[in-house]
Amino acid sequence: MPRGDAAGLPGEVDYRLARQAVISEFRKGRLARHEVCDAHPELVRAARNVGEESTQQCPICDAAKLVLVTYVFGARLPANGRCVTTKSELQRLARSSLGRAAYVVEVCPACGWNHLARTFPLGQGRSRRSAPSG
């Protein structure tokens, strides 16, 4: 659930409930594998090359560990966002006074499962945020 702060910016949003709903629908046979394992090729490439491996196995194929890929969107960044490759890069982007938002996506490099895990604001004095955790 989002939380507010003194600056009026939204807080972190966690998407675990939505994730569980999708997984549940898949396991009940209401969603086909191609509907839940539909990661864009660039997202899979980012997961394989610059993502942060988590400790969780893929809930769909159970063949690989999930990888967390973080994108940052906001002022003075490309329209399609910036894929963050290191914790130090995320911290540098967070030190900016510009309002930016980070999106953490979990990806299975084996089957293409992907789901938005969480979002959180960067900048505006939020440099204490750390990189995504598994």
Higher pLDDT, 127 or 64: 64
Q: What is the tens place of the pLDDT at every residue in 40-54?
A: 999 999 999 999 999
35 - beta bridge partners? none
pTM equals 0.82
Query: Residue 56: which residues within 8 A CB-CB, separation 6 or more?
Result: 65, 66, 106, 134
Phi, psi angles (nearest 5°) of residue 52: -105, 115
Q: Which of 98, 97, 100 is nearest to 84 (CA)?
A: 100
Taking 3-state DSSP, the helix, strand and coil percentages for the chain, each rounded to the nearest 5, stand at: 25, 30, 45
Q: Are the beta carbons of 121 and 99 closer than 8 angstroms?
A: yes
Q: Which of 117, 47, 103, 92 is nearest to 70 (CA)?
A: 103
Q: What is the tens place of the pLDDT at every residue in 56-112?
A: 999 999 999 999 999 999 988 999 899 999 999 999 888 877 889 999 999 999 999
* Domain residue extents for the chain: 13-122
